[in-house]
């Protein structure tokens, strides 16, 4: 109904929103995976981080990008850039005392937030010297076998973004 990507078709069951899709896939097919913990409190923390991404980090990213794609903007203001960057402080806090976003194990929250930050840092620069926890997390994420997940998508995003900024 929302005409968005991604949309999952699981044998006639349709679901959209990447966050909902990840949770569904883990609950249905990844029951033995550490990407989505079984422990209620650990799972709640992963969900909290996913909802932060969905409701704040990614939502701010979409708002800024939509100004270019659909709102007629041809440049981003300092306010737009700061609007997104404010969340880097929160992500830095999430990483205090743990190797990953929701503790010491990589989870779907890491994958989700990784994709959002790598895209938003295209226009809202992330000073890794200011964020040592994010810097260390980036290095850990790059070492994972699925670190490539957002590489092609980010390249396409950068091209699209540049096209709209250079109208």
Per-residue pLDDT of the chain (167 residues; tens, 9 = 90+): 666 788 999 999 999 999 999 999 999 999 889 999 999 999 999 999 999 999 999 998 898 888 888 888 878 888 888 888 889 999 999 999 899 999 999 999 999 999 999 988 888 888 999 999 999 999 999 999 877 778 888 888 888 878 777 65
Q: What is the pLDDT of the chain when averaged over all its residues? A: 90
> Would you state the structure tokens that stand for residue 119, as one six-digit string?
């895209």
What CA–CA distance (Å, rounded) separates 48 from 60? 17
In CATH, which of 3.30.70.20, 3.40.190.10, 2.40.50.140, 1.20.1050.10 is domain 34-165? Answer: 1.20.1050.10
The tens digit of pLDDT for each residue in 31-71 reads 889 999 999 999 999 999 999 999 999 998 898 888 888 88
Q: Where are the domains of the chain?
A: 34-165
Other residues' Cβ atoms within 10 Å of the Cβ of residue 32? 6
Say what the pLDDT of residue 154 is: 85
What CA–CA distance (Å, rounded) separates 67 from 23? 29
Q: Token match 């957002």: residue?
A: 150
Residues paired with residue 103 on neighbouring β-strands, in sequence order: 100
Is 114 within 8 Å of 139 (Cβ atoms)?
no
Is 24 within 8 Å of 9 (Cβ atoms)?
no
In the three-class reduction of DSSP (H, G, I as helix; E, B as strand; rest coil), residue 33 is classed as coil
């Amino acid at each position: 109904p929302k005409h968005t990507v991604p949309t999952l078709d699981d044998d006639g069951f349709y679901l959209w929103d990447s966050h909902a899709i990840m949770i569904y896939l883990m609950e249905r097919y990844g029951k033995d995976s550490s990407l989505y913990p079984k422990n209620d409190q650990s799972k709640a923390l992963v969900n909290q981080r996913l909802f932060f991404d969905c409701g704040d980090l990614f939502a701010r990213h979409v708002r800024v990008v939509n100004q270019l794609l659909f709102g007629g903007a041809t440049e981003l203001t300092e306010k737009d850039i700061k609007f997104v960057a404010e969340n880097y402080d929160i992500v830095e806090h999430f990483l205090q005392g743990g190797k990953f976003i929701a503790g010491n194990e990589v989870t779907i929250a890491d994958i989700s937030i990784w994709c959002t930050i790598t895209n938003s840092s295209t226009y809202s620069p992330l000073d890794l010297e200011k964020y040592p926890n994010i810097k260390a997390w980036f290095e850990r994420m790059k070492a994972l076998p699925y670190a490539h997940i957002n590489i092609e998508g980010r390249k396409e995003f950068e091209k699209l973004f540049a096209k709209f900024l250079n109208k």
